[in-house]
Amino acid sequence: MKGKIAFEEHMAIEDTLQDAKIFAGESGQWDEFAEEILDLDEHRLATMDRAGIQMAILSLNAPAIQAILDRDEAVETSEKANDRMAAAVTAHPDRYAALAALPMQDPKTAGEELKRCVNELGFKGALVNGFTQRDVADSAFYYDIPGYRDFWQVVSDLDVPFYLHPRMQIPERCEIYDGHPWLKSSPWGFAVETSTHALRLCGSGLFDDFPNLRIIVGHQGEGIPFGLWRMDARMRFSPRGYCGKRPLGDYFREHFHVTTSGNYNDAAFRCTIDTLGTEQLYFCSDYPFERMEDASEWFDNTDVITEEQRQQIGRANAIKLFGLDL
């Protein structure tokens, strides 16, 4: 399929590049990977062409800003990354758009930066890499806590989507993975971390306070579609501490948008479609952690969807979600 729009498509700046090394450095192809993630010109555009991707909505790599302990450095690095993305959009306005990196260490400044990005630079929303550390390495701030309500007010006022992207759990807080470092990152731990964070948002009453929030999660929903029925079923018996006014599943189905990033699998796709329908589903690749060609090869050919649904999920839904002028 030509004309696809993809929006879990990562870039890096020199300051955040090293964060990708533990994920991509072991393949022995670090130099190539580094070139790919830094490049926003010919190489990436040619790869997009081969994969039938007309537009990539760029975002910073993980965990990047969210792992910077110093508040001022987090603010400066976000601005730098966002300015870099803005320059790429200016250079190739018909091929790129951008999602803001945000210094969640300081919710007020994060809101200000989001306003700058959306109102002045024309960004389409934000992509944040899970919880934020601050001041000390052994810290993890999740965005359901009261300190972030003013930030969500800004997101709600701007009415832009917020992509909740994975990051790895910090070493001080992941005993369950001891002795199994492979289990901690993208094969499993990313999904546990991100889905739990997403459910915290649902259970915090956030969506009662801000009914227009739209949260995006990747990887076919980070496992939530598969578990949703049971969660609602069991919540009838153990709703301890749950602050939502409505059942969990209602919030997920109403406020969450799910992408195919890095999970090119028919069974997962069917489950996600069964849970959400096709209107809140989107094609994404997760380049350069994945190959755009692999994402497209699967998406363009899967017979789980009709041709009409392929157009919808590959393009039309994204135009609507981000209000793109295409």
What are the residues binding ligand GRE (CB under 6 A)? 10, 23, 61-62, 185-186, 262, 286, 289
Q: Are 244 and 202 in contact (CB under 8 A)?
A: yes
186 interface partner picked from ligand GRE, Zn ion, none, CB below 5 to 8 A per type: ligand GRE
CA–CA separation, 130 vs 272, rounded Å? 21
151 interface partner picked from ligand GRE, Zn ion, none, CB below 5 to 8 A per type: none
**Under rule CB under 5 A, residue 193 binds Zn ion:** no
What's the min distance (Å) between Cβ of 91 and ligand GRE? 23
What's the min distance (Å) between Cβ of 50 and Zn ion? 20
CA–CA separation, 312 vs 143, rounded Å? 31
What's the min distance (Å) between Cβ of 6 and ligand GRE? 13
Question: Does residue 274 have an active-site annotation?
Answer: no
Our CB check for ligand GRE shows the closer of 203 and 221 to be 221
Show contacts with Zn ion in window 1-20 (CB under 5 A): 8
Show contacts with Zn ion in window 115-154 (CB under 5 A): none
Q: Which residues, at least 6 apart from 239, have a Cβ–Cβ distance to it below 8 Å?
A: none
Q: State which of residues 19, 36, 113, 286 lies at the interface with Zn ion (CB under 5 A).
A: 286
Q: Which residues, at least 6 apart from 251, have a Cβ–Cβ distance to it below 8 Å?
A: 201, 202, 207, 244
The beta strand positions in the chain, using DSSP E, are 4-11, 53-60, 96-100, 125-128, 132-134, 136-141, 162-164, 215-217, 256-259, 281-282
DSSP state of 23: H
What's the min distance (Å) between Cβ of 62 and ligand GRE? 4
Our CB check for ligand GRE shows the closer of 8 and 106 to be 8
Q: Are 65 and 74 in contact (CB under 8 A)?
A: yes
Q: Which of 286, 294, 300, 325 is catalytic?
A: 286
Q: Are 45 and 95 in contact (CB under 8 A)?
A: yes
Which residue numbers are catalytic?
Answer: 286
Residues that bind Zn ion (CB under 5 A): 8, 286
